[in-house]
Amino acid sequence: MALSGKRILLVIGGGIAAYKSLDLIRRLRERGASVRCIMTKGAQEFVTPLAASAISGQRTHTDLFDREDEADIGHIRLARDADAVVVAPATANLMAKMAGGHADDLASTVLLATTLPILIAPAMNVRMWLHPATQRNLAALQGDGVRVVGPNEGAMAEAETGPGRMSEPLEIVAAVERLLAPSGPLAGRHVIVTSGPTHEPIDPVRYIANRSSGKQGHAIAKAAAEAGARVTLVSGPVDLPDPAGVTTIRVESARDMLAAVEQALPADIGIFAAAVADWRVANAGEQKIKKDGGRLPELALTENPDILATISRRNEGRPPLMVGFAAETEHVIEYAKRKLAKKGCDLIVANDVSAEGGVMGGDRNTVHLVSQAGVETWPTLDKAEVARRLVERLGTWNVGGKA
């Protein structure tokens, strides 16, 4: 199904065409999408939240000041937790609010807060559609990157004929499919990204960890999704939001991470950016370990599975392109070359994580790309730019070590 796994946030405006939105929900779900609805006050004069919820299978949101929703800043969550926003019908009033950046109800606030792709399906009287103000608003929205489907010409509710009819639900669905169609250097590929640290328990309270923030791995997942890939992000414990348009699996330990990666296979590209703990406590306590007269607890360490090497050496299901990361404090390029050979991967992204560099937990990174073709050193860049450049490079990579 063309929209399988896609999450659509449907904003239903207050026009007579709102009745078509119920069929639109059904059509989107038939193609595999999940649909969550926001209804303006005007929309509720034409269709009920109960009807939208019954067809979508999810709660319909109507109030900016809903105590339950706003306990976790609900309008921001709604603005992020989707792959695209569809406004149907997009009334003249709603279009004006969007163009002017107004935020006086839940729908307009979410539309102002979102960074997701937006598709609008205008619906209004022909004279309202042709009014210079509406055309100015339309031009402003298109200039902001908002996609538009329709309106169609035909008979209107006011017994007038002309442009202003909302596009039919199947036309809107086709526009959504075009909006979300993979494009970019990684279009159509499945990319697995690991990110963040792992936590290896000592007892139920304490654990072994490292200073990784997950910022670089999460940035790579986001960039890969923006490049058209279907992305599975396997993340250790981090204080970061899940990237939009990415399937995120949260894990704790190295063994959990390996299991999640194996479950996510097959993939076209594996990018192993997580800072996985090398060791875990073999005899982790089931209860909190107490101080005992100054005697130190005996903690026996054992090696964790090597996720990069394990996946690289698979006979079946190995991603054709395997990218590892090497966080070093000395001899960065020398150790990266050794890791490339030892792990059996195609590319190592190496960096110096010495404390004075501020890479771990920081927003900038200096990386060296090490492959069989040689070493390429990039200047210090924002981690988002490192991610974008890496994804661009991988999009042109020939398996065997040459970009």
97 among the known binding-site residues?
A: no
Residue type present at position 42: G
Q: How far apart are CA 264 and CA 260, in angstroms?
A: 6
Which two structure tokens, joined as six digits, stand for 199?
């936590």
Q: What is the largest CA-CA distance in the chain?
A: 90
10 Å CB burial of residue 305 (0-12, 13-18, 19+) is middle
325 among the known binding-site residues?
A: yes
Neighbouring residues of 314: CB distance < 8 A, sequence distance ≥ 6: none
Q: How far apart are CA 389 and CA 397, in angstroms?
A: 12
* Dihedral, CA of residue 163, residue 165, residue 168 and residue 171, to nearest 10: 40
Q: How far apart are CA 374 and CA 333, in angstroms?
A: 10
308 among the known binding-site residues?
A: yes
Q: Give the residue carrying structure tokens 């939001």.
A: 241
Q: Strands 279-281 and 321-328: what pairing? A: unpaired
Contact indicator for 390, 223 with CB cutoff of 8 Å: yes
In the β-sheet with 118-122, what is the strand arrangement from edge to edge?
Answer: 60-61, 34-39, 7-12, 84-90, 118-122, 147-148
Residue type present at position 370: V
Contact indicator for 51, 43 with CB cutoff of 8 Å: no
Beta strands in 316-373 (DSSP E): 321-328, 347-352, 364-365, 367-371
305 among the known binding-site residues?
A: yes
Beta strands in 213-341 (DSSP E): 230-235, 247-250, 269-272, 279-281, 301-303, 321-328
307 among the known binding-site residues?
A: yes
278 among the known binding-site residues?
A: yes
Among candidate residues 125, 137, 210, 304, the one labeled active-site is 210
210 is a catalytic site residue: yes
Residue type present at position 66: D
Which two structure tokens, joined as six digits, stand for 112?
């102002």
- Provide the annotated binding site for CTP: 278, 288, 305-308, 325, 339, 343
- Provide the annotated binding site: 278, 288, 305-308, 325, 339, 343
Q: Give the residue numbers annotated as catalytic, written as ranges.
A: 210
